[in-house]
């Protein structure tokens, strides 16, 4: 159990509490001199009792669930405080040890013992409650900041995994073209450099990017894939105004990679359709591709889709939907995420 409230705040708390108590009892007895002296004695005992409870009794017994030991320790502490308070009041201030009562009390009378102990418990409970509440708020903020930092680290890790994954696939494409001595290689290099610029610089350190930029990125990727696939037809259908919409960067590329990777296998005429629209504050993103049935399609080895699901979970918690289905020889994957508007 760790407490890190600034020392000056302790002085402020006890100073204000002493002042209020001094004014209260001074007005009650119409004797501020007596109130000042009696409060000096009381606070000289209140303060050690409170910190002894917080730093010794609570960590040693309460946090270890030794409640009987705690109760015994607290009871003994109250007895010590009672003896000290009664003795100092009697010998330093007045023989009337309980002036607020309606008669003179002698030390060790049961009513006086009960009154003093309950008063100490009241101070102990109030001061400890304030102290523990402030500490809990501080720890809560610290834990929240720690969770946010862990979230950023994990998200960056997943994002960094996606980038090498994509470039690895693209370099494989480039290598295949170079083996054929294709004149398409220069075009691939130029388009790849644009993609790398977007990934390495344009989206660096950003949590959300304009959807329009992501669509442009997807189109550049499609152009690269078209250089590799001889017969591929891709249609992008945007049904809503997306000018001000932002999305997490590189969220859709894994879905598109999946369509090319598995849809293009042994497929003489690959067809891919991308639909994008806004419905009820949600972005609906859909990719449909035809495919030729093959055992390898059922066993994808890439990490792209798995990382996409992890990123969605981290960013949107459970407020998203990622579904896929097969209809005849068409594979359909649908993603729904809440929109992030610049306004």
State pLDDT tens for residues 219-242: 988 888 887 777 889 999 999 999
Has residue 302 been placed in a domain?
yes
Q: How far apart are CA 53 and CA 45, in angstroms?
A: 12
Residue where one domain finishes, among candidates 116, 143, 170:
143
CATH code of the domain containing 277? 3.30.565.10
On whether both 112 and 261 belong to a single domain, the answer is no
Has residue 40 been placed in a domain?
yes
On whether both 192 and 93 belong to a single domain, the answer is no
Has residue 321 been placed in a domain?
yes
On whether both 260 and 326 belong to a single domain, the answer is yes
Residue where one domain finishes, among candidates 93, 119, 143:
143
Residue 191 · residue 228 · CB < 8 Å: no
Q: Coil, strand or helix: which one is 98?
A: coil
Q: How many CB atoms lie within 10 A of CB 195?
A: 19
Has residue 12 been placed in a domain?
yes
> Which pLDDT belongs to residue 289?
92
Q: In this predicted model, what pLDDT tens digit does every residue of 90-145 receive, in sequence order?
A: 777 776 666 665 666 667 778 878 888 888 888 888 888 887 887 788 888 888 87
Q: In this predicted model, what pLDDT tens digit does every residue of 11-42 receive, in sequence order?
A: 888 888 889 888 887 787 787 887 888 888 88
Has residue 293 been placed in a domain?
yes
On whether both 126 and 191 belong to a single domain, the answer is no
> Which pLDDT belongs to residue 171?
76
Q: Which of 314, 330, 312 is nearest to 322 (CA)?
A: 312
Mean pLDDT throughout 185-190?
79
CA geometry: angle 105, 109, 113, nearest 5 deg: 105
User: Taking the complete model, does pTM exceed 0.75, yes or no?
Assistant: no
Has residue 131 been placed in a domain?
yes
- Which residues, including other chains, have CB under 8 Å from residue 152's CB and lie 6 or more apart? none
Has residue 156 been placed in a domain?
no
* Six-digit token string for 63: 């946090």
Has residue 168 been placed in a domain?
no
Residue 304 domain boundaries: 183-341
> Which pLDDT belongs to residue 303?
59
On whether both 187 and 331 belong to a single domain, the answer is yes
On whether both 12 and 138 belong to a single domain, the answer is yes
How many domains does the structure of the chain reveal?
2
């Amino acid at each position: 159990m760790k407490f890190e409230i600034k020392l000056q705040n302790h002085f402020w708390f006890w100073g204000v509490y002493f002042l209020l108590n001094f004014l209260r009892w001074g007005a009650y007895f119409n004797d501020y001199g007596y109130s000042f002296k009696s409060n000096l004695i009381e606070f000289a005992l209140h303060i050690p009792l409170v910190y002894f409870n917080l730093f010794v009794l609570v960590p040693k017994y309460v946090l270890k669930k030794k409640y009987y030991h705690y109760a015994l320790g607290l009871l003994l502490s109250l007895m010590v405080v009672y003896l000290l308070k009664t003795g100092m009041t009697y010998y330093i201030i007045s023989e009337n040890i309980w002036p607020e009562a309606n008669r003179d009390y002698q030390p060790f009378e049961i009513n006086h013992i009960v009154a003093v102990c309950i008063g100490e418990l009241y101070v102990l409970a109030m001061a400890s409650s304030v102290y523990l509440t402030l500490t809990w708020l501080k720890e809560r903020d610290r834990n929240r900041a720690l969770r946010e930092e862990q979230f950023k680290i994990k998200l960056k890790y997943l994002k960094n995994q996606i980038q090498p994954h994509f470039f690895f696939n693209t370099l494989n494409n480039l290598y295949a073209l170079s083996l054929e001595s294709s004149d398409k290689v220069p075009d691939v290099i130029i388009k790849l450099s644009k993609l790398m610029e977007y990934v390495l610089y344009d989206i660096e350190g950003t949590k959300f990017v304009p959807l329009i930029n992501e669509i442009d990125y997807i189109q550049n990727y499609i152009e690269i894939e078209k250089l590799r696939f001889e017969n591929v037809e891709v249609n992008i259908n945007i049904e809503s105004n997306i000018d001000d919409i932002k999305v997490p960067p590189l969220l859709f590329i894994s879905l598109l990679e999946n369509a090319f990777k598995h849809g293009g296998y042994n497929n003489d005429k690959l067809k891919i359709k991308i639909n994008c629209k806004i419905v009820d504050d949600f972005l609906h993103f859909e990719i449909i591709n035809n495919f030729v049935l093959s055992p390898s399609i059922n066993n994808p080895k890439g990490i792209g889709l798995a990382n996409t699901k992890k990123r969605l979970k981290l960013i949107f918690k459970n407020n998203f939907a990622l579904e896929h289905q097969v209809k005849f020889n068409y594979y359909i994957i649908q993603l729904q995420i809440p929109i992030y508007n610049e306004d």
